[in-house]
């Protein structure tokens, strides 16, 4: 893996695949992968439920997501990344203070770290293109986020993982165990809270 040193925009070679990683900002919000662009699962659980029955309101939820990013960018700074391959977005990540992600409270595993303690919550790590999975993009994206948060002086990154299914906003538990995360709370054995000290 090789990196150029341009802050906020990095060109990386992952297993012979050339990809670009960009911080999410107002100008590239439109590049968030289609399935995530109007998803307000973490930001507004009530609206997420409504969206299931009212797909015609998609653009409304897309606006809410955009507003969430604009406010979080102002208050917290960089809170997401997009990975491009051949100019097309293929992967996406979102992270912020736990206070900005109210659906955290719906999980049985508790004790999610607070911003005052230097903890950041990873709400989504997603390689949207199925054919691009298993090529090291998820690992590279996670590493890019870890480096971003270290540079900004944060102390830990946390996420809920899934023990039995890869279909989880941030992915399966094994992926995080391999990257040095430990279990912080397993009140819900299916969705343990995992933490990595930065
Ligand atoms: C989980 C995910 C982010 C991992 O990214 P990736 O690019 O596919 O993973 P990588 O190629 O970087 O793999 C890194 C390591 O994690 C492991 N890993 C990846 N996915 C795994 C899985 N589903 N189960 C177990 N291990 C897994 C790989 O085996 C690899 O280990 P290795 O280095 O020892 O070979 C990606 O597969 C994904 O987005 N999956 C879909 C998840 C989903 O549906 N989310 C819903 C979003 S709302």
CA-to-CA dists, residue 153 to 146, 157, 163, 198, angstroms: 11, 12, 30, 9
Superfamily of domain 9-197: Gcn5-related N-acetyltransferase (GNAT) (3.40.630.30)
Q: What is the pLDDT of residue 92?
A: 97
Task: Report the distance separating Cα 8 and Cα 145, nearest Å.
Answer: 11
Q: Which atom of ligand 1 is nearest to the CA of 125?
A: 3
Cβ(19) to ligand 1 under 6 A? Answer: no
Contact 27, 153 (CB under 8 A): no
Specify whether the CB–CB gap between 96 and 72 falls below 8 A: yes
Task: Pick the residue whose CA is nearest to atom 32 on ligand 1.
Answer: 178
Ligand 1 proximity of 15 Cβ (cutoff 6 Å): no
Q: What is the pLDDT of residues 81-137, one digit of tens each?
A: 999 999 999 999 999 999 999 999 999 999 999 999 999 999 999 999 899 999 999
Q: Provide the pLDDT for residue 1.
A: 44
The segments of the chain whose pLDDT lies below 70 read: 1-7
List b or e across 130-145, with b for residues whose CB sees 16 or more CB atoms inside 10 angstroms: eebbebbbbebbbbbb
Q: Is the CB of 118 under 6 A from ligand 1?
A: no
Mutation test residue for ligand 1: of 136, 167, 175, 179, the one with most atoms within 8 Å of CB: 175
Q: How far is the CA of 174 from the centre of ligand 1 (A)?
A: 9
pLDDT (0 to 100) of residue 7? 52
Q: Is 169 in the pocket of ligand 1 (CB under 6 A)?
A: yes
């Amino acid at each position: 893996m090789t990196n150029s040193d341009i802050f906020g925009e990095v060109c990386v070679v992952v297993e012979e695949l050339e990809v670009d990683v960009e911080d999410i900002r107002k100008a590239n919000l439109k590049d968030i992968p289609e399935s995530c662009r109007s998803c307000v699962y973490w930001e507004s659980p009530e609206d997420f439920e409504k969206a299931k029955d009212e797909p015609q309101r998609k653009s409304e939820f897309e606006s809410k997501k955009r507003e969430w990013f604009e406010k979080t960018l102002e208050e917290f700074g960089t809170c997401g990344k997009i990975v491009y391959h051949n100019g097309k977005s293929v992967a996406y990540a979102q992270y912020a203070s736990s206070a900005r992600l109210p659906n955290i409270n719906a999980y049985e595993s508790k004790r999610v770290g607070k911003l005052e303690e230097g903890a950041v919550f990873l709400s989504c790590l997603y390689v949207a293109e199925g054919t691009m999975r298993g090529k090291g993009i998820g690992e590279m994206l996670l590493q890019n986020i870890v480096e971003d948060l270290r540079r900004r002086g944060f102390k830990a990154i946390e996420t809920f993982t899934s023990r039995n299914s890869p279909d989880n906003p941030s992915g399966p538990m094994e992926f995080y165990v391999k990257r040095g995360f430990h279990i912080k709370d397993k009140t819900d054995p299916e969705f343990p809270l995992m933490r990595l000290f930065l």
